[in-house]
Amino acid sequence: MSTIRHILLEEANFNHIRLQIAKLLAAPLPKYSAGRFRTQLLRTFMGFKLGHGTIFFGMPTFSGTGNIYANLSIGHYTLVNIKCFLDLSGHISIGSNVAIGAETMVITGTHKVGDHVKRANEMIAEPVVIGDGAWIGSRSVIYPGVTIGEGAIVSAGSVVYKDVPPNTMVGGNPARIIQKLEE
């Protein structure tokens, strides 16, 4: 019986009951409206640190194990578009005045490389940092351990494996510097 109880407790933790409540309350809200209400739901039920004026145009998909509630902080006046995926296995720190395009994925969890028997070995998490004023284009993928500098632009559809310097535009797969931007 203790094995079944243990499995049920693990499953309940993985399903993040607080997250399910927030999703349920946000479900009837139309996309692109009630963004401040979504933000307040995420503050109240998830405990995320979300700055004043931050807006979620749709409820993101959250993933991760353990205490995901401590792994997201967003500054003031940041916009998060619809259908974004935030992996909260590690910490995601998003600055103020950031724009995140639709269907963007921010991933913090990865695996150590194992031997030929099992390549995806032990799970590890590496934080992602997105600096103030950055713009992440739609359908971009930001990988674990990446820092996007202040005022940087990640072009739509980019796959970012390496840090992006401040005030730089990157694009492509893998993302490469396209141009330096004015400060």
Nearest by Cα to 158 from 118, 93, 101: 101
Give CA–CA dist 161/141, Å, rounded.
9
**40-44, 75-79, 155-159: lowest mean pLDDT where?**
40-44
Give CA–CA dist 22/49, Å, rounded.
15
**21-25, 75-79, 173-177: lowest mean pLDDT where?**
21-25
Strands 85-87 and 120-125: unpaired
pLDDT for res 124 = 93
What is the extent of the structural domain holding 144? 2-180
pLDDT at 166 over 60: yes
Mean per-residue pLDDT, 49-57:
96
- Residue 134, CA atoms < 13 Å, CB-side half-sphere: 31
| Residue 181: C-alpha distances to residues 87, 94, 129, 168 (Å) | 29, 20, 19, 5
Number of domains in the chain: 1
What's the CATH code of the domain at 147?
2.160.10.10
Task: Report, as residue numbers or ranges, the catalytic residues.
Answer: 111
